């Protein structure tokens, strides 16, 4: 029977027990694949056709892009505001907890 040290589990940065203060300033990284140069999500399919949204790209490394796309999703997409926030969180963080 092998024993696995907790620090070797996936997402150990977030899931291993730490002192409470550790998480106060912890930055959750974007998913690894989104860190490739030029990577962007195409989210235009989340909008009704009458919105005329044929191109809406999310660049997770650009705070202005994240803010703009979040606003567009909340205001004009097929999603309600909490769903839009959940999509943005899931696409911009390598680990996220979404209550639904």
Residues 65-84 have pLDDT tens digits of 999 999 999 999 999 999 99
Check the CA dihedral 89-99-79-82 and report its sign. negative
For all residues of the chain together, what is the average pLDDT? 91
For residue 24, what are the CA distances in angstroms to 19, 20, 28, 56?
10, 8, 11, 33
Residue 14's pLDDT band (cuts 50, 70, 90):
confident
């Amino acid at each position: 029977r092998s024993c696995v040290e907790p620090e070797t589990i996936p997402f150990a940065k977030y899931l291993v027990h730490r002192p409470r203060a550790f998480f106060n300033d912890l930055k959750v990284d974007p998913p690894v694949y989104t860190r490739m140069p030029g990577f962007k999500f195409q989210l235009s399919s989340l909008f009704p056709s009458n919105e005329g949204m044929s191109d809406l790209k999310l660049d997770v490394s650009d705070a202005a892009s994240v803010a703009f796309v979040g606003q567009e999703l909340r205001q004009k997409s097929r999603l309600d505001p909490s769903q839009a926030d959940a999509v943005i969180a899931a696409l911009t963080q390598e680990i996220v907890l979404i209550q639904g």
